[in-house]
Chain A
């Protein structure tokens, strides 16, 4: 999605993401829109990793949504992957304006239960932000690369890109 107000959106998401990371005790949290545009991130310091996670999250969301439609499920709730040391949590959530995706990476300092508990709060908090209360124009496959880069430029220092 192309946004004239991207800086405003990124600033507005900063505090809810910070609170989520603190309360759910996750190591990394990213907010991405379905086109792969990065809107917020905390915990990763490498721009290459951030870009990868953002685009993979968007792709995972698209395929999970398609699978949900094929199986007549209304929507998919979350994806949880347990690794040897770290776990991945990926979940869509709705705001009045659009659907967003939260990606969280955590270790044994947290748990799926704790992440789910604070994810609900987080989604509600983001949905209440004025920046997400009005419907914006949708994105398209053509804008994917440009959107991704625009998000990264706002969030990561230029020398990391």
Chain B
């Protein structure tokens, strides 16, 4: 990408002054960022996103700007937003992969970097970082030790290109060690008539393994979003009450007994039973399902 000339910047500035969410905001913010005017770039992105909160490239650029000012949490939030809007986004998977690598969360790093590598297998930074994540942080290949900073190295290379990020849909089951069919991971639990199924959800709420034999509307993928809401609110509640990280949620409805629990590596396990199933049966079944889910996912 060539540097923008002054006339371009003037024109973009005028467009953005007339309408902060004008398409030119992205070009202007990128130009300011290249000039080292990060604060100005940040302001332009924030103003545009107020009016266009679903603008994927705006969030991706904001993530980079936060990263460059050392605000890794905010950068991670922005990449997470990008993935909600565009689950296969290369830059967001790559950025989160580097952030997790830096934190020492190798499972989560590997998962994101594998998604990134699926989109751009030739990207050397992703390749090196993936090798590092797979080795559990041991024996870092040269050039892969830059941590999250690697996500912004070669700035323009990281810039999202519209439509460039295309990965498989929800059921990739990246990183699983077993060779069985993802939908049949929990098959051995089906012998119990109270067991209605189980799902493994990834950070985006997409179903990665398992299935539910019950009346959800719109298939299992919709259920992922449903349970994402329960988990999000539970984490907020646990935080404000100071009772530590959430370990499980049990939902009684008149149609089912549902158990949600973290599986590790950013995955969530959902187990469903008949509404008359006792709580302790559910807790035991969820334990067994967790073991099966972890073995399958390799977490």
- By a beta-carbon cutoff of 8 Å, the part of chain A in contact with chain B is 11, 14-15, 18, 42, 45, 117, 157-159
Contact = CB atoms under 8 A, between A and B. Distances in A.
Contact of B46 (A18, A45, A117, A158): A18
B50 A11 contact: no
Contact of B19 (A11, A18, A117, A157): A157
A159 B19 contact: yes
B43 A11 contact: yes
B284 interface: no
B155 to A, nearest CB: 23
18 contacts: A11-B43, A14-B43, A14-B46, A14-B47, A14-B50, A15-B46, A18-B46, A18-B50, A42-B50, A45-B51, A117-B240, A157-B18, A157-B19, A157-B20, A158-B17, A158-B18, A159-B18, A159-B19
A15 B42 CA distance: 11
A158 B47 CA distance: 15
Contacts of A159: 18-19
The prevalent SS among residues of B at the interface is helix
Contacts of B20: 157
Contacts of B50: 14, 18, 42
Residue in A15, A18, A42, A157 with the greatest tally of chain B CB atoms within 10 Å: A157
Contacts of B43: 11, 14
Interface string B2-26: 0000000000000001111000000
Contacts of A15: 46
The prevalent SS among residues of A at the interface is helix
Given A117-B240, A157-B18, A158-B18, 15 more contacts: A11-B43, A14-B43, A14-B46, A14-B47, A14-B50, A15-B46, A18-B46, A18-B50, A42-B50, A45-B51, A157-B19, A157-B20, A158-B17, A159-B18, A159-B19
A42 B52 CA distance: 11
Contacts of B240: 117
A18 to B, nearest CB: 7
A38 to B, nearest CB: 14
Interface string B112-133: 0000000000000000000000
Nearest to B39: A11
A114 to B, nearest CB: 10
A19 to B, nearest CB: 10
Interface string B29-65: 0000000000000010011001100000000000000
Interface string B194-208: 000000000000000
A159 B22 CA distance: 13
Residue in A11, A15, A117, A159 with the greatest tally of chain B CB atoms within 10 Å: A11
A113 B94 CA distance: 38
Q: Give me the 8 closest cross-chain CB pairs, A-B, nearest first.
A: A157-B19, A42-B50, A14-B46, A11-B43, A157-B18, A158-B18, A159-B18, A157-B20
Contacts of B47: 14
Interface in B196-248: 240
Contacts of B46: 14-15, 18
A152 B19 CA distance: 13
Contacts of B51: 45
Interface string B238-274: 0010000000000000000000000000000000000
A74 to B, nearest CB: 28
Contacts of A11: 43
A159 B19 CA distance: 8
Contacts of A158: 17-18
B62 to A, nearest CB: 11
Contacts of A18: 46, 50
Contacts of A42: 50
Nearest to A42: B50
